[in-house]
Structure 1
Amino acid sequence: MKVTALIFLLLFIPMNPIFAEVDFNDNKIMLDKLEIKQYSLPYMDGLFIDEKKLTFLMDILKEKIYKNPQNASLDKNGEIVKGKPGVTIDRDKFNVLFRKMFYSNSDMKLEVPKKLIYPRVDNALLEEIRAKELGSYVTYFKKSNLERSHNIALATEAINNYVVFPGETFSFNEIVGERTKEKGYKRAPVIVKGELAEDIGGGICQVSSTLFNAVDLKGIQIIERYEHSKRVPYVPPGRDATVSWWGPDFVFKNIYNQPVLVRAKSDHGKMLVSIYSSEDVEYFSGE
């Protein structure tokens, strides 16, 4: 009974994989026979592979290899910056090679196979969806308020070049992320419960409000929007979209038949958001 209990425990204790060679210059990872054999079920004389430990190994390998793909984007001059593919472990190929090595008498090393992850937005798609401007909106701010201007610039850059595919939703909080000191955001005036105060990320609501007015189109469905408790000077009454990390969000859905591209910039006291898509963009009216 004691031996049976010990085997049961071992099956659920993950092993820390040992890597014989890791070339960090090109993320080449090699596994030798001894390392592969450590993924056999205990007390089974190497007859069976511990599938849970193998899955755990592949997860670790993915963390070491993974590189995010980079979408194609437009620079400040409107020129296309080519996208770049990312890299991850090829799990299917690794599974085959690992099992072949496990059950063979070969002492050769196994090079962990990789595969490319292609960006969602490539050069051709970006070229197509920048063809037609669907809407735009401009707001203004005091460039002399350096902290607020800085925050606006950071949030503007976060939403710039973002592509929303048909049927997808855009969450301002999700895309921009938490506004923290670590991310470079500074203390600036904000409205809290109708009162003017200072907090990290002040000025962000001007970005979300400008975006709201730009995407207020027949092919965009506003899912979530909240007004400030006090009137703001940069948009007309009722045309604002307040956001905060632990509170309100601004969310919209693309109901066009084509992806839409968000272009945003802020400079010299001017905040501009423009929405683009392809020439044959249409929306579903439900009729």
Structure 2
Amino acid sequence: MGKLMGIIGSIVLASLLVLSGCSEKTTREKDLEKQVADLQKQVKEEKKSQEHKTEEQMLKEDIFVKVVDPTNKEVIKTIDPKKLGYKTDQVNYKNKIEKWARNLARGTEKRPGYDQRMIPDRIGTNGQIIKGRPRRILEETELAERVMKASAKGGTVNLPLYVTESEYQSAEVQTLGEVVVASYTTYYNAGVAGRTRNIELSAKAINNVILGVDDLFSFNTTLGPSDTAHGYQPAEEAVNGKLVMGIGGGICQTSSTLYNAIDKLSVKYIEKHHHSVSVGYVPKGRDATVSYGGVDFRFQNTIGVPLLLKGYTKNGVLTVEVRTSKKYKAQMS
């Protein structure tokens, strides 16, 4: 194209020189004008052809989006926008990416998601801090937007992972048990071995759990599986309005006792469910049923100070206490 432009320039210059010598167009002048017009047309056609080629080349280019886990730099997925229809139907393509991002965050039946509920830290038997697990959230909307933006030219996208650690000072842990700010007691038949064992295990699971400021507490996540592998035994439990035998029957008494204790404070409830039948250990409407892998009892510590949970069982008596440091107690009043 540069060569053509040079030829056109030479012809135009020659035309100007000829025209400067006379006022009427000669045959030579007309020939020069025609050559210039023909060459200009050729330039336009070549330019159009080049633009068309560039567009075709872009369509044929192998453009990929690599999605990387920033915690270990591992490529967890390579997306082919062209194969998924980015160029032909962006609305459908976006729907596919959003669905994939949602499943990646929340998980599927075959694979756990990136989202993880917090497992609170706790105080061990020797006063040491036993670390749990921070809360982790994969922002699926942000992930989908990043992939959509990168799909035009390709590139690398980092997962937008947000991790929240428990908010408390480790140096103050030993004082968190100083004062009781809320408590509740329920009763059970200690002669029923299976139910007694399940209440004891679940009370032990929440004992000495640290709840930092704004921490999210999940009863199911804190306990873990309530199955035989973890020591739980068969006992009566409420299912669809009936009392039936099931592994872990009795843990709902612990979750309900905890609810009645923590409800005396200004916490924010995330999830809470009632039994399908009335239970005798708490007043009607004051229960909080749970089922591992199903319904849960969840709340957020919105008190503004760190808390310590205590769970005690003895001779058919279950007590759950909520404690904190003396200096924090003053802040709460």
TM-fit CA distance, 1:144: 0.5
TM-fit CA distance, 1:178: 1.4
Whether the 8 Å contact between 2:190 and 2:315 is mirrored in structure 1 is yes
The aligned residue for residue 264 of structure 1 is 311
Whether the 8 Å contact between 2:206 and 2:223 is mirrored in structure 1 is yes
Write the distance in 1 (CA, Å) between the matches of 2:224 and 2:245.
19
Aligned residues: 186
The aligned residue for residue 159 of structure 1 is 206
- Which of 78, 81, 84 is matched with 2:127 structurally? 81
Whether the 8 Å contact between 1:72 and 1:123 is mirrored in structure 2 is no
Change (3 A) 1:157 1:235: same
Write the distance in 2 (CA, Å) between the matches of 1:121 and 1:206.
29
Q: Secondary structure at the match of 2:263?
A: coil
Q: 1:167-209: CA deviations, max 9, x gaps?
A: 1110001100111111111110001011010011000100000
Change (3 A) 1:73 1:122: farther
Change (3 A) 1:141 1:120: same
TM-fit CA distance, 1:126: 2.1
Whether the 8 Å contact between 1:149 and 1:203 is mirrored in structure 2 is yes
Whether the 8 Å contact between 1:258 and 1:278 is mirrored in structure 2 is no
Q: Secondary structure at the match of 2:228?
A: coil
Change (3 A) 1:71 1:212: closer
Write the distance in 2 (CA, Å) between the matches of 1:134 and 1:74.
22
Unmatched tracts of structure 2, length 5 or more: 1-69, 75-119, 133-165
Write the distance in 2 (CA, Å) between the matches of 1:244 and 1:159.
16
Instruction: Tell me which amino acid in the other structure corresponds to 1:273.
Output: V
Give the alignment of 1:141-180 within 5 angstroms.
141-180=188-227
Write the distance in 2 (CA, Å) between the matches of 1:84 and 1:253.
20
Write the distance in 2 (CA, Å) between the matches of 1:243 and 1:55.
38
Write the distance in 2 (CA, Å) between the matches of 1:84 and 1:244.
25
The percent of aligned pairs where both chains have the same amino acid is: 35
Q: 1:125-179: CA deviations, max 9, x gaps?
A: 2222222211000001000000110011111111110011111110001100111
TM-fit CA distance, 1:120: 8.4
TM-fit CA distance, 1:265: 1.3
Relative to the length of structure 2, the TM-score reads: 0.50
Greater gyration radius = 2
Q: Does 1:247 align with 2:297?
A: no
Change (3 A) 1:85 1:204: closer
The aligned residue for residue 190 of structure 1 is 237
Change (3 A) 1:121 1:161: farther
Relative to the length of structure 1, the TM-score reads: 0.58
Write the distance in 1 (CA, Å) between the matches of 2:223 and 2:332.
27
Unmatched tracts of structure 1, length 5 or more: 1-51, 57-69, 87-118
Q: 1:194-227: CA deviations, max 9, x gaps?
A: 1010011000100000000010133322221111
Instruction: Tell me which amino acid in the other structure corresponds to 2:222.
Output: I
Q: Secondary structure at the match of 1:242?
A: coil
Write the distance in 2 (CA, Å) between the matches of 1:162 and 1:212.
15
